[in-house]
A and B are shown apart, each in its own frame.
Chain A
Amino acid sequence: MATLNPNPVFRALADPTRRAIFQQLSRHGEQTVHGLTRHAGVSQPAVSKHLTVLKRAKLVRHRRDGRETHYRAQPEALAPMVDWLNLYGAFWRDRFDRLENLLGRMDP
């Protein structure tokens, strides 16, 4: 399993507004900057800036249609972050330790 650099994804999603934009696109599909601005609670230039960061992290793609630009989420780009989280499967490893301990105490 190739481990991609998760930094751009983490950085992009560390900001609550960008997370909200990403979530909005994930849930409701393709939208324009105007549409996103209505939900974001920040100005349109701010939304555009956030979209640039999301695009750089490949979390968002865009396509032009006349004068409008449509954005959509690319949740596949979360994969490096998920891979990174996998390294920290600490919960399950801890539980395996506890299981080992229990098996030693159980009747055969």
Chain B
Amino acid sequence: MSNASETSRALVVERVFPHPPQKLWRALTDGSLLAQWLLNNDFEPVVGRRFQFRREPMPNWNGVIDCEVFVVEPFKQLSYSWVAMGLETVVRWTLTPADGGTQLRMEQSGFGPDREANYKGAKYGWQSFFNVLERTLTDLD
């Protein structure tokens, strides 16, 4: 998190879980556990490791999320790239001991123009993003 404008284009979800950081870390880094709550994957907590999450395919998207592990700091921090629908974002998990448990923070950043790759050169980037957005908005009706 380097500056305010970047922060404003990040999606943040936080929650305190009544469990120790070690347990949360397992849920975040053990591929089979991860699959039980996030998405099917071939994740391994190794920096530089390329892996994929897979969602159910949609008409304009095969459901594949391409990732690369950036940071593995056991029980504290985990981050990886998250390239979906041509949009390249970064997902960062932060674990902080909290009263009676652990605060888990998920920050997904890079939606905004702070990342040139999002709107330059990405072959199907914005088009597929907007296609998905349109369908999402239609589904909300």
Contacts and interface: CB of A to CB of B under 8 A. Distances in A.
A102 B37 contact: yes
A102 B120 contact: no
Interface in B11-35: 11-13, 15, 17, 19, 23-24, 26-27, 33
Q: Could you say which interface size class chain B belongs to?
A: 20 to 34
A27 B23 contact: no
B33 A92 contact: no
B11 A102 contact: no
Contacts of B38: 95, 98-99
Interface in B31-82: 33, 36-38
B73 to A, nearest CB: 19
Interface string A67-87: 000000101101100110110
A79 B9 contact: yes
A96 B13 contact: yes
A49 B118 CA distance: 26
Interface of A: 1, 13-14, 19, 22-23, 26-27, 73, 75-76, 78-79, 82-83, 85-86, 88-89, 92-93, 95-96, 98-103, 106, 108
Interface of B: 8-9, 11-13, 15, 17, 19, 23-24, 26-27, 33, 36-38, 104, 106, 108, 111-113, 118-121, 126-127, 130, 133-134, 136
